[in-house]
Structure 1
Amino acid sequence: MAITKLEDGRWFVDVEPVKGKRFRKRFKTKGEAQRFEASVRAKLAVTPEWNPRPKDTRRLSQLIERWYELHGHAITSGRRRRNMLLFIAAKLGNPIAQTFTVSDLVALRKVELEEGALPRSINVRYSYLKSIYTELRRLGDIDYSNPLDTLKPLKPQQDVVSFLSKAQVATLVSALRDYSTFPHLALISEICLATGARWSEAQRLTWPMVRAGCVVFANTKSKRVRSVPISQELQDRLEAYFASKTRFPFCREAFARMVKRCNIELPRGQCTHVLRHTFASHFMMNGGNILALKEILGHTSLNMTMRYAHLSPEYLQDAVRLNPIAAVDVV
């Protein structure tokens, strides 16, 4: 029933354009009743809440692929992040993305912690998953709120920065230079030790990126291009290497074997990153400026660089000079 004539001569409109939205009204003329019905149906076409989308039944893996198609392909680590997220989706049983809950993820987090996963690594992975929903909602691909909005990250114990001593640096560099099977291994390692570069940044280095006594790092984690001076000796060795080759091959596992062979024990996950920590730590111990270190490392925030501040000689001397015992005479 839409429009009917009542016994008193008026016209009655009873229209339900969508289930649950019903409108009833009386009019003096049939024309008024028809115009009202038409306006109600027209509103349905332009008002999203009157015409809701069908329930989104896509699985989490499908949402991840959609994110990669719309956004992930354009970011530096997009493919690696996509694979990581698909692995998480599989561990979760690939649930319906819209009905997925924080409780589901917290249950997986408990299992991963029991298996020995690091809280910081878990936080990073789960923040990537959370951002999938945020980005797809921003792009209009989903119309529901982020089901992971209430997820709070774990609070990890702050790690002590591990770095190599001068003796360990000498032992490692000597062993790498003598390792004829991988002659490039010493070069990559020394680039990291000389510039504070990440292993991946040093491994991607090509000869055109060596300019006037500096190495230029592009496509970095912080998206910033940075230039760091190097010694003439290191530049000459790079020039000799790239005279017959275009790039460095992958050799992270070979480096890990050499570290073990040199009897250098490191915290889990710091095998190559220890070179960057070593540069930064010795830079500060030798009196370097914290702001200069921030620029050399390419940090976007000084807070990231401050982990090395305690190694500054001035910082250490202040601890001796300014403590309360230093200011009193004990008889």
Structure 2
Amino acid sequence: MPIRKNNNQWKIDFRIGSKRYRHTAKTKLECIQYRDKCIAEKDKEAPEKDDRTLRELIDIWYEARGIELADNERTLKNLIRFCDALGNPIAKEVTTRDWHKYKKKKREAGIGDKTLNNILGYINAVYNFLFRNAIIGYCNPFQPIEKIRTHEKELIFLSSEEIQLLFEDIQKNSKSRHVMMITKICLSTGARWGEIESRKDHHFKNNQVYLTYTKSKKNRIIPLDEALFQEVKQHIRDKGEFTNCQESFRRALLRSGVRTVRGQASHVLRHTFASHFMMNGGNIRVLQSILGHADIKMTMKYAKFSKEHLNDAVRLNPLSKMDTSWTHR
């Protein structure tokens, strides 16, 4: 419901259901009052019939908002699968019971709770966006549903010895000419594999790598050690720009025998950078900026690796100020 000032007048343009309302006034407050009056009058009327199906709403949402997402195609596929599983009902008639039936069926099929939470998040986004923009005149039927509480995934990172093992396997067994170089850059910058794999020669300049079209849609610039920077430039001159080689990295990771968590693969390099950054005395806010996290909460999982954090566990525990030598007698 945008309210904009045009010269000395204020204008409001909004929809309630399928009906559009426009109004011009001398003050912004008058526009707000007009909007509230229209909503109140609409509430008194008989509810407008809305027999659009869930799939129709998903399509409207996708054209208006979903297509702007970084992973738009995958999100759309998940929404369509959910819609098909429910039998493409009238969107207004969906209830929380439909979700719980769907959740039970998917759990029995082996679908994980994190995946179910993601799907609930997607469908909530559809209803909330359409209601907020007055494309539907009723609230999100899934709003009361709480996400499933899940166990935090174990955060695996490579030790210096494991990094050496990985390098040795890549050097000896990998047929891809780019795997070693991309692995080095990821470990040096904390960038995602795809962010580095898509870089061209002109993205490496002034001892920095320029990251564009990132997951967060915000550009980042990360410095490189001068020796590594020169190595990257020489590599591109000799072997060409990077090509898709993530599968080669996965195979090297498995061959090397280092411990990994299913579903992380190349992301273990990002975890390794962040964990070592904090263990070596790095600042959590700086790490947030390097990783490109929009919310500091996403970065805080690495805070536990800081030396200060670990030393506090020794310094501040209840036995630290006590003489416990007598307990050994």
**TM-score bracket for the superposition, by shorter chain length:** 0.7 to 0.9
Distance 1:246 1:134 in 2: 47
Distance 1:108 1:50 in 2: 34
Q: Does 1:189 align with 2:189?
A: no
CA RMSD of aligned residues (A): 2.5
Q: Is the 8 A contact 1:177 1:183 kept in 2?
A: no
* SS of equivalent to 1:109: helix
Q: Does 1:310 align with 2:304?
A: yes
Structure 2 unaligned blocks of 5 or more: 1-37
Q: Is the 8 A contact 2:174 2:252 kept in 1?
A: no
Change over 3 Å in CA distance of 1:244–1:117 after alignment to 2: farther
* SS of equivalent to 1:176: helix
Structure 1 unaligned blocks of 5 or more: 1-42
The match for 1:22 is none
Q: Does 1:148 align with 2:132?
A: no
Kindly state the Cα deviation for residue 180 of structure 1 after the two structures are TM-superposed.
4.9
Percent sequence identity over aligned pairs: 36
Amino acid at match of 2:127: Y
Change over 3 Å in CA distance of 1:303–1:246 after alignment to 2: same
Q: Which runs of 4+ in 1 moved over 6 A?
A: none
* SS of equivalent to 1:65: helix
Kindly state the Cα deviation for residue 48 of structure 1 after the two structures are TM-superposed.
8.1
1:200 to 181, 194, 197: 194
Q: Does 1:84 align with 2:78?
A: yes
The match for 1:56 is 51
Query: Cα deviations across residues 179-220 of structure 1 (Å, max 9, x unaligned)?
Result: 452112222222221111122222222222222111122222
Distance 2:316 2:46 in 1: 70
Amino acid at match of 1:94: N
Q: Is the 8 A contact 1:281 1:308 kept in 2?
A: yes
Q: Is the 8 A contact 2:154 2:261 kept in 1?
A: no
User: What count of residue pairs does the alignment treat as equivalent?
Assistant: 286
Distance 2:256 2:153 in 1: 24
Amino acid at match of 2:157: F
Give the number of the structure whose alpha-carbon radius of gyration is greater. Answer: 1
* SS of equivalent to 1:238: helix
Query: Cα deviations across residues 110-155 of structure 1 (Å, max 9, x unaligned)?
Result: 2333444332332122201111111122333222221111111111
Kindly state the Cα deviation for residue 50 of structure 1 after the two structures are TM-superposed.
4.2
Distance 2:186 2:73 in 1: 25
Normalised to the residue count of structure 2, the TM-score between the two structures is 0.78
Larger RCO of the pair (alpha carbons < 8 Å, separation 6+) = 2
